[in-house]
Structure 1
Amino acid sequence: MFIEVYNSCPPLNSLDDQIIVSDNECGNEAGDVCTFSCKRNYQVIGTAEISCLPNGQWTRQQPICIDPSIRCTPQLTAPVNGFFIDECLSFGNFVCRFGCIQGFSLLGSSAVRCDATTRSWSSNAPQCVPQQVNCPALSTPPNGVKDGSCNGYDSFAASTCNFFCNAGYQLQGMRVLTCLNNGAWNGNVPTCVRVVLACPALPTPVNGIITGVCGNNSPPGSTCNFSCRPGYRLIGQSALRCNSDGTWNANIPQCQALTCSRLRTPENGQKTGNCENGTPVGSQCMFICNPGFETIGQAVLICQSNGRWNADEPRCESAIPTCSALDAPEYGTKAGVCDEGAPVGSTCTFFCNNGYRLRGEQRLVCQPDGSWDEEIPICIRQVITCRELRPPANGAIQGTCRAGAMAGSRCLFSCTPGFQIQGEPILTCLANGQWSSISPTCIPLPRVTCSELRPPPNGITSGMCESNSSVGSQCSFSCNPGFRLLGSAVLTCLSSGAWNGITPQCIPITCPQLRPPSNGFASGMCENGSLPGSRCTFSCNPGFNLRGSGVLICLLSGQWNNNPPTCAAVPTTTCRGLQAPQNGVLAGMCGENSPIGSRCSFTCNPGFVLQGSSILTCLSNGNWNSLPPLCITQEITCPALDRPENGIRLGTCQEGAPVGAICRFRCEPGYTLLGKRQLVCQVDGTWDEEVPECREVGRSCPSINPPLFGSVTGNCNPGVENGICIFGCNTGYNLVGTPVLVCLRNGSWSANPPSCRRGRQGCRVPILGTGVIMGYCNTAIGGLCYYGCRYAGVSKRRVDYLYSPNAATSESRSSYLVCREAGQWTGSRIICRPRFPFLYGISFAG
């Protein structure tokens, strides 16, 4: 006897604004049908009629009644890196639900309800913040290597680390370790164990000879040499080496009988005998010319024991002598009878382009023996040079200064200590054979001393730092506790009367940035540059507990007093187990009863690609956030690679290159390769590196002397390619021009050297609005003023203000200003805003 059992459906919610209309008074037994309608001036949202199924489930969710005149403001928008779950309307009693894309989690409430009474949302829309889990760094096994994401900082969830052993060693343990979602590896680091095996005996090939260590039980590293008897050639490697795994490194070679290649039939002639491919040793091939032509070369060729013919193929030439074609010289032309078959007595005349002259005979004549009477002449450039330059008294020269200097050559002048250059320090040889200016002279310098150096704010000086310090004096700088030195700790007085650098600064010791924990947030002074004594407070989202210290303090050492805490989920509901897709695998928390927040990762076998989300997350309703993905077949190829400028590419580089294909690159003479010499097509359809570039071999730039009342530092004497030369001025002088010059590839500087001009002594203390000076503010020319944001009270609660860019623009804001020569501060002033305005009900305009 079979009894059919039906389950009851869950009872429906009752709302004052909702009326149920049904003959059976809307029961919740199988087959019951409930029809919904709303009171006057109300509107149904959802399906108006639902039925109770035998499995105890309603066919649709219960609808709600809304008053279209009641709306909540403002209209909610999906968070960055997030989305709405179902539709989000701003009518009274409507609930908007939120979710985040892969790699992000919600910060705030996942559901926000429009209150019909207050016409406001129950809370602010949540945010989607990044998730990041790292596994610890893995060590390299002795006698082995590791490859992949093994170093901790690059070891994220689902990343892998591969292990390999050196030659003669065998891996014991897992070859590939995977980083799990809980921040741990799925196994231990393997070990490499030495393997010593002997190789078997090698046989002698037919018509061959072996020498060396070739017998049974040959030890690793042994070498067996192969050669062939006369008349045979070796096919394969001539030497085999015994590997540490007991195998020879290649197959046994063979001895193949030598034969000669096919001979071509001469034009205007014939051949007979054994003349084709595979001709055996000792065979003959005979050549005969047609009437009116004579044989040039041997008429009978013999195949020798080395597999080569005893001479080159002969040719058949006309019995009437003619001359061969003549080419025009480079940078020149030809005229007359100069082509192939020129008759005896013909003449060919040669001419050169402007700026070139002819070396050799201008006119050639075809001789009776079929040859021209002279070699083809060449065209050489007419060279214009400059006269010799001599060093000035108390000075020296370098560069191309001798007689015969070519156009474009440069001669550099410098003076001995105690003298300075008067005139142009660099002369250039022009195209008209004249130098660009007259030679400069060296004039004596007045007695040189350096100006006084003052201690920086929050710092002290020691040594020879006073006014009128002599050349060679040194001034040392140090900072007070809680500050560190930015710049050179020791400055030296130069012969130019300038110190060899600018006064260093003492900047506060600060702590690095602290990031909010996953499923939590941080408040207080947590950003990069936090001063000693700053406090950073941590808290977790609903459903998570804090593990670790809730408040961290920045110490005088520049480190936080403890490690950042984490947020652990409080187990409530669990999700069902997931199965691996066909042709794929899964990893992570994927089994039955997976707790809320569990993540299950999917990957496909080689040759297959994932269709769908690669990571599924267990939601608070006990469901996974998406359907499991599939693994589908896809042919993987790599795109075409471009040829680098001034270079060439070799190998498989075109569109559709298969996995494992190699593309090689090489540069033309005068250029050097910057990047990998060969690229490999990977299993994900991408090349393992970017295309390299061919960079011209660089040249040096001329030396730069310090400006009057100033100094230079860096690569200035002489300059090197991409090197920089930094200029500074003495106290009381301002820099006019570019402060930093770069040595370009063509051997010239990026701009003219600047000069030092007497100017203002400093800037006024800046007005920062909502900002506050952080530690100190140097108002001298070239000084820095560091500043940040302060705390302020709102509604009797502490609000954490944050250094933030202007929301209306995308430009980044600097946290310091620089005092310029005009007595003005440069650099954008920051805007200070509440870091978490939604926690305190604060709104502001960008």
Structure 2
Amino acid sequence: MRTVGWSILVFMLASPASGQVSQDCSAPDKYPNTKLDTKYARRQKFSHSEKVYYSCDDDFTAFRGSRVVQCVDGQWTKLTLKCEKISCGNAGDLPNGEFQYEGNSYIGEKVFAVCNEGYTLKGLNYMICKRSGWAGEFPSCEEGGITCPTPEVANSVQRTGGVSAYQVGENLTFTCSEGFQLNGAQQTTCDASGQWKPQPPQCVPIPDDKIQPSPGSCGVPPAVSNSNVHLADRFITKTSFFSGQKVYYNCDVGYVAAGGRKSRLCNNGKWTPLKLKCERKLCGSAGDIQSGQFVYTGVEFGDTATAVCDEGFMLVGSATRHCMNNGWSGRNPVCEAAVCEDPPEVSNAEITGLQHEPYTYKSVIRYSCRAGTLVGEREIWCTKHGTWSAPAPECKEITCPSPNVPNAYWTGNHNQKFQYRATIYIQCNMGYVMSGPGTVYCERDGRWLPELPKCQRRRFVNQWG
């Protein structure tokens, strides 16, 4: 009696576990600096053991962890993917000075140039981090104390002798180009604050009825075709130049000077030829990719480098980098091994080839039916796209109808069901002749093959007339 009671108690304790049903999951959690892959974004219900994938937000890049979470009995596993902001990194060395960073060199942040004592900054005092890297002209620190930069007065005659900075106390006298007149002080002085006092004047157009062209002057310099150069900004608005006056040219964005003078001269009403030659800037290698490589159209300004992963690996990040004025745009993408989800389970089937995660490219699994007939592919494998080569097969019970042939009987199978591959032998009753095969078998589509025979009454010939 005691043994019976103990057995009932064990059964009661075991019953709830044996009847437990796996629970579905609701929409996956949100994590900082990540986003759920688009194909899962609108779904609100996920089945047990189903997996979903995350990626990093824009302006962020993955630096460790897995992209996958899985639904386990109504709860999602924790996402281990960690994303960090894209950083431009170190801006380089500033001779005779140093760079001071606004933050961690993230997109939108600035780096400021600070010169050592006794040196003066030339150019903008900052650069900005963009997706293509540090943007802006690289500053420089020149030897000397407080100075004033050469003032840019449009439509004035520049007589600075190539001086880019002036010492405190030095004066500048301005003369306007032909067709323009001064509006403001003709002379200005560099003061101790590094500013010109009074402010430099403007050169404004002289009314048409007062213009007196000088002999030998030149008009606007003719454009230079197919040279990748352009007239310096300070000369763009001028329409007249005196004889002996020079204008200067710069290389277009993405090009660098490769020889020849940057200036041309107005000589008695004619412009001398421009000798400046500009070539495309060189970006060099875009870097190395583990389990992949870059395919280049070239390594100069305007060219592209496209990342191609080895077979069985999938690209994460932007595939294409562009050779820009400041080097290659963006960052190198990553080639991750193609991973398939766990192979689908099939009712009444056994799976061989199961392994611990992950199922990578060329992993193979095989199905075999414990009961019924396998319909579909017996063997499937993980493709280079991270998907299984075919849907999972099914184990179906396939039967053929009873082989009812009039005037006949059959042998070979005495089960109530005629399953796939069942074979029977048909014989006609006495006095009947068979038309068709005497042996048939049950095919996987539930038909007898070959077709069932027919039994026809034997005809007797009267030999006596």
Task: Using structure 2 for the length normalisation, give the TM-score.
Answer: 0.30
Q: Which of 1 and 2 has higher RCO (CA within 8 Å, sep 6+)? A: 2
